[in-house]
A and B are shown apart, each in its own frame.
Chain A
Amino acid sequence: EVQLVESGGGLVQPGGSLRLSCVASGFSLRNYWMNWVRQAPGKGLEWVTNIKEDGSEEYYVDSVKGRFTISRDNAENSLFLQLNSLRSEDTAVYYCAASGAGIVYWGQGTLVTVST
């Protein structure tokens, strides 16, 4: 069974940092571009960042450039997202997602809340 399991979410103050992790099972993460997609409370889906199969390319939505960093460890079948300088508008459920033609696999999501 294909699974993506995220962890690392929680409550953080504005300006703080978090590191999200995602572990894949049932498939080899090394064969996929990997993404983080978020959904703010009551809002729609927003693509945040992705990274090529071998980690040689990565892209970000403008609102997180310079603050978030995506990385992967194919040997550990894992994906990561380092979130720095967090803002209230970063509050969302963050989904780890594998893409081919569209996003084929999604995790259950981990909630990040940025608040005092």
Chain B
Amino acid sequence: DIVMTQSPDSLAVSLGERATINCKSSRSVLSRSNNKNYLAWYQHKPGQPPKLLIYWASTRESGVPDRFSGSGSGTDFTLTISTLKAEDVAVYYCHQFYDIPSTFGQGTKLEIK
């Protein structure tokens, strides 16, 4: 199984500042056939289902604010929130859908400092 490891486990950032979450996969999730990274990011707030933010590692889902961005390739990925807003408080997960079983990172809890 591909193991997804996020860092840090929790993060406190001031409003208006940048938040950065890292995700490392135990094997590459880059497909040689289409040159796409099978990596997604989700935002999960209490009492709600997770919400897709980013897919193919760097493509923003429709309707997601442009302060959210994804980067990386192969085994190392980053989710960046450029200017933190209060509504961004949530748990964030990376997710590989390159191989079965599909696997998630353990989650990063983002709070306001």
Contacts and interface: CB of A to CB of B under 8 A. Distances in A.
Contacts of A35: 102
Contacts of A100: 55
A11 interface: no
A108 B42 CA distance: 15
Given A44-B105, A44-B107, A59-B100, A103 B95 contact: yes
Contacts, number: 59
A44 B49 contact: no
A62 B48 CA distance: 27
B44 interface: yes
Interface in A45-100: 45-47, 50, 59-62, 95, 99-100
**On chain A, which size bracket covers the interface?**
20 to 34
B104 interface: yes
20 contacts: A44-B104, A45-B42, A45-B95, A45-B104, A46-B104, A47-B101, A47-B102, A59-B101, A95-B50, A99-B97, A101-B38, A101-B55, A101-B59, A102-B40, A102-B52, A102-B61, A102-B95, A103-B52, A103-B97, A106-B49
Nearest to B36: A101
Given A101-B40, A102-B95, A44 B52 contact: no
B101 A62 contact: yes
A108 B36 CA distance: 29
Most chain A C-beta atoms within 10 Å of own C-beta, residue among B38, B42, B61, B97: B97
Contact of B97 (A60, A102, A106, A109): A102
Contacts of A46: 104
Contacts of A45: 42, 44, 50, 93, 95, 104, 107
B77 interface: no
Given A103-B42, A103-B50, A103-B52, A44 B93 contact: yes
Contacts of A95: 49-50
